[in-house]
Chains A and B, each alone.
Chain A
Amino acid sequence: MHIIRANQKRFFQLLFLIFILIILVIIPGYVPVYYVSLLLSIFKYTVLTVSWATFCGPTGYISLASAAFLGTGMYVTALIGEKVPLPLVVLFGGLASFLLALLVGLASLRIRGIFFAIFTLGLSEGLRHFINWWEISRVGRQGRWVISAPNTTIFYTMLIILVMTVLASYLIRRSKFGLALRGIGEEEEAANHIGINVNAVKAITFAVTSFWIGATGAIIVTQWSYVDTATAFDVSYSFTPTLMALFGGIGQIYGWVLGSVVFTIITELLLIFPYYYMLIFGSIIISVFLFFPSGLVGVVQKWWKGGLVE
């Protein structure tokens, strides 16, 4: 009886997801361009947040290097965008981030907690300044023109990346490596002693999740036609995913997605009040953290339970 009900629940969840996916696939033909670009923004932040949280959520390693991976993807497009077909550009953007994350992972395996956070933040900023210096002193320019892709191409590429990211995250969390990541977050030494190669698991997961961020950077930059280091490696790309995941609820994939969607929409709505935007936004974030430490998911669950009691 229990199993049947659980299966039924899963079936409806799957149906719901497919329904949403179908809507997302057909929506660009029916809504104004503004909403398409809002959706793109939501896709971008959802990929960033889900990728970030898949590694950082269970392990407790706070990475502030998302901007580095996103920017790397963007610069890959700037460099090879004209020479290579777009799907390959996106693939290479992802691979570049994958390799960078693997290097960072291997280099920073021994540091934990706040040190890892600062290291990754330093990496992100360091990379920005290095590329800036290189471009100005060696290449003799600041910023680059980028190929531009049609809006629909960008939209559907992002949609594919988003679906892949969520799917990858779901599969990682369900697999034994997902369990191992949680073990590493709880007691790294014990995890190592029961046969988990913690360094390999950490570095590879970090790299796999960074792949999607790089791919996102590679496609999203074609919206702008121009990129420089300040926009590509904008440090807010490192902090926002962290906030979004906490805002939505760090324990669950749907919390991360919910957090990204709601967060992005609130940001957009509050732009109506350019002067009070940050003030209102800050108050909302603080209230959620204060009253619902488990994020929006906590709010929903509380409301859901309350509803059932009545």
Chain B
Amino acid sequence: MRICEGEGVTKHFGGLAAVVNVDFHINQGEIVGLIGPNGAGKTTFFNLISGALATTAGVIRFKGENITGLKPHQICKRRVARTFQSVKVFSNMTALENVLLGSLFGASIGTCMPDANAEAMELLEFVGLSAKKGNLAKDLTIANQKRVEVARALATKPELLLLDEVMAGLNPTEVVQVIELIKKIRDKGITVFMIEHVMKAIMEISDRIIVLHHGEKIAEGPPEEIATSQEVIKVYLGK
């Protein structure tokens, strides 16, 4: 079943076409990778789905409902959550408070404080941060800040999770841990759509990969196919 799909999704910044006429779909329960060279329009594409930016043209549907033009908080309520490429944790709040806000707002309505608290604790445990619950987010390492973001996004109870480079800047051990974490998220029944530059990781966990270049979709398919695609190799390595 298609959980999220788009037709002719386009975004122009003045004269610059950041995303051009992209058709895509994501099936329920999949892990889909989004790759492409720097400046290919990947983050812009995420911003269009999550409502941070308005599309210039095209339609994005989530579970059959047209969500184009909705505000970020409305899209979150429809169960689409995201993390950010440049980490956006609430720096002067504790890790627990960061996640708690996701539980209190997010897709649920009227969660009471004790329930939200228990839920936030559970999610911190899930991402492996329960020992740091009382630390201010700004005092955590980048790897842990990214975990806080993932937990905060999960707290909003998404069905589709958009991960924007969660592995960037992590060391190899941390990358392996995050791969495990993403698999665990998928096993919870949450569909994952992720931007990643760590090729080894994305090839390992993606069911399907979409490749963007200059805002256009140039390839799509299972990882083995993408890894051997002449066009993708040309884009990444030059001729």
Measuring CB to CB, which residues of chain A are less than 8 angstroms from any residue of chain B?
176, 179-180, 182-183, 186-187, 189-198
Per-position contact with A for B206-222: 1 when CB-CB < 8 Å, else 0?
A: 00000000000000000
Given contacts A179-B100, A190-B84, A195-B102, 6 further A-B contacts (CB under 8 A): A192-B72, A193-B72, A194-B153, A195-B156, A196-B101, A196-B105
Q: Is the CB of B89 within 8 A of A183?
A: no
For B97, what are the chain A residues with a Cβ–Cβ distance below 8 Å? Answer: 179, 182
- The interface residues of chain B lying within 8 Å CB-to-CB of A194 are 76, 81, 101-102, 105-106, 152-153, 155-156
User: How many A-B residue pairs lie within 8 Å, measured between CB atoms?
Assistant: 74
In the bound assembly, the distance between CA atoms of A183 and B101 in angstroms comes to 8
Instruction: Give the complex CA separation of A28 and B88 in angstroms.
Output: 52
Among B88, B89, B105, B153, residue most surrounded by chain A Cβ atoms (within 10 Å): B105
A183 touches B73 (CB 8 A): no
In whole angstroms, what is the CA distance A149 to B84 when docked? Answer: 57
Q: How far does the Cβ of B101 sit from chain A's closest Cβ, in whole Å? A: 5
In the complex, per-residue mask of B104-126: 1 if CB is within 8 Å of any chain A CB, else 0? 11110000010010000000000
Chain A residues near B55 (CB, 8 Å)? Answer: none
Complex: A70 Cα to B155 Cα, angstroms: 41
Q: Which of A183, A193, A195, A196 contacts B107 (CB 8 A)?
A: A195
The distance in angstroms between the C-alpha atoms of A198 and B71, with both chains bound, is 11
A193 touches B100 (CB 8 A): no
State A193–B91 Cα separation when bound (angstroms): 16
Is B177's CB within 8 Å of the partner chain A?
no
Residue of A nearest to B78 (CB): A195
Expressed in whole angstroms, the Cα–Cα distance for A190 and B164 within the complex equals: 13
Pair A197/B88 contact, Cβ less than 8 Å = no
CA distance A238 to B77 in the complex (A): 38
What residue in chain A is nearest B111 (Cβ atoms)? A176
Indicate whether B199 reaches chain A with its CB closer than 8 angstroms: no
Q: Is B11 an interface residue (CB 8 A)?
A: no
Interface size for B (C-beta < 8 A) is 30
B contact residues vs A (CB 8 Å cutoff): 50, 52, 71-73, 76-77, 81-82, 84, 88-93, 97, 100-102, 104-107, 113, 116, 152-153, 155-156
Smallest beta-carbon distance B16→chain A, Å: 21
Bound-state Cα–Cα, A185 to B21, Å: 36
Chain A proximity of B233: nearest CB distance (Å)? 35
Distance, CA A192 to CA B84, complexed state (A)? 13
Contacts of A197 in B (CB 8 A): 71, 73
Nearest CB of A to B111, in Å: 9
What chain A residues lie within 8 Å of B107 (beta carbons)?
195
**Given the complex of chains A and B, what is the CA–CA distance between A65 and B77 in angstroms?**
33
> What is the bound-complex CA distance between A40 and B100, given in angstroms?
40
Are A180 and B105 closer than 8 Å at their CB atoms?
Answer: yes
Q: How far is the CB of A177 from chain B (nearest CB, A)?
A: 9
Q: Are B101 and A180 touching (Cβ within 8 A)?
A: yes
Contacts of A195 in B (CB 8 A): 73, 76-77, 102, 105-107, 156
Q: Which residues of A contact B104 (CB under 8 A)?
A: 176, 179-180
Chain B residue with Cβ nearest A190: B88
Q: Smallest distance from the beta carbon of A182 to chain B beta carbons, Å?
A: 6
Cα-based distance from A48 to B81 in the complex (angstroms): 39
